[in-house]
Amino acid sequence: MLPSTVTTKQIQRLDAVAIERYGIPSIVLMENAGRHVAEEVIKDLKGKKNRLVCVFCGLGNNAGDGFVAARHLADAGIRTQTFLIGRAQSLKRDAALNYQILRKLKVPIKEVKMMTPAVREQLGRSDIIIDALFGVGLNREIAEPFKSVIEVINQSRKRIISVDVPSGLDATTGNIYGVCVKAVKTVTFTFAKKGFFIHHGPKVVGKIVVGNIGIPGKIINECFQ
C-alpha cells in the first residue's frame, strides 16, 4: 500500500532510483515539474489581462523547476520576470541548462544579489509570485540574502505559488528554518510531504496540488513495498 505522505529521504530515494537505476533523465523530471507549476499558474490567471508573473529562484534544482515554469508561461503569452538570487555560475547542471534556455529564448531573467527598488517595483506589479528558492533538500537556517527576499515576498501580499515545498519549511518535520514563504498554493510532486500537515506546515502550504512528474508506478511500488 502506498503512503499518503513521504519524508524528504523517501522522496529523494525515489528520485534517485528512477534516475540512477532506471535511467529516467533528471532533466525530464524537472521539465515535467516545471510544466505542472506553469499549468497551475495559468489556471489562476484565467480571465486576467496584462498578466505578470515574477519567479524567484535559488541555486538548486528547485530553481530549475522555476526556469521551466517561466518558459512555459512565456510560451503561453504570459509576461514573466525571473529573478535568480545569486550567480548563474553556481547553478547545478540541470538548472543551469534551463537557465541558458531562458536566456537564449530572451525570456526576461536577471541575476540579483538583494531586493533592490527595481525588483520591489516589479514585485508590486505582479499578479502571481512563484517561489522556487528552496526545495525539499533544505536542512539549514536561511541566511541573507534569501532571508530578506522571503520576507519581502511575504510582505507583498501577492498570490504566492511554491514549487514542491514553501521555501524555508522542513518537508519532513514541518519546522521552519528561521523564515518561510507563506504560499496560497504548493505544487508538489509525486507525493505530498509529511511536513505539510504538522507543526508550521499547515500555516504556510496553502492548497496542496500533487503533480505526476513521470515516475512510473512500477518504480514507485518498488520503493514503497
Q: Count Cβ atoms within 10 A of the Cβ of residue 48 and give its class: 0-12 exposed, 13-18 middle, 19 or more buried.
A: exposed
What total of structural domains would you count in the chain?
1
CATH of the domain at 132: 3.40.50.10260
Confidence of residue 12 (pLDDT cuts 50, 70, 90): very high
Return d(Cα 68, Cα 7) in angstroms, integer: 25
Q: How do residues 155-184 score in pLDDT, each as one tens digit?
A: 999 999 999 999 999 999 999 999 999 999
Cα-Cα-Cα-Cα dihedral sign, residues 21, 26, 32, 37: positive
Asked whether the whole model's pTM tops 0.85, one would answer: yes
Count the Cβ atoms, other than its own, within 10 Å of residue 71.
Answer: 21
pLDDT range class, residue 134, cuts 50, 70, 90: very high
Query: What pLDDT score was predicted for residue 46?
Result: 87
Contact indicator for 174, 204 with CB cutoff of 8 Å: no
15 is in which domain, residue-wise? 5-223
| Mean pLDDT, rounded, for 203-220 | 97
Comparing CA positions, the residue from 74, 48, 204 lying closest to residue 134 is 204
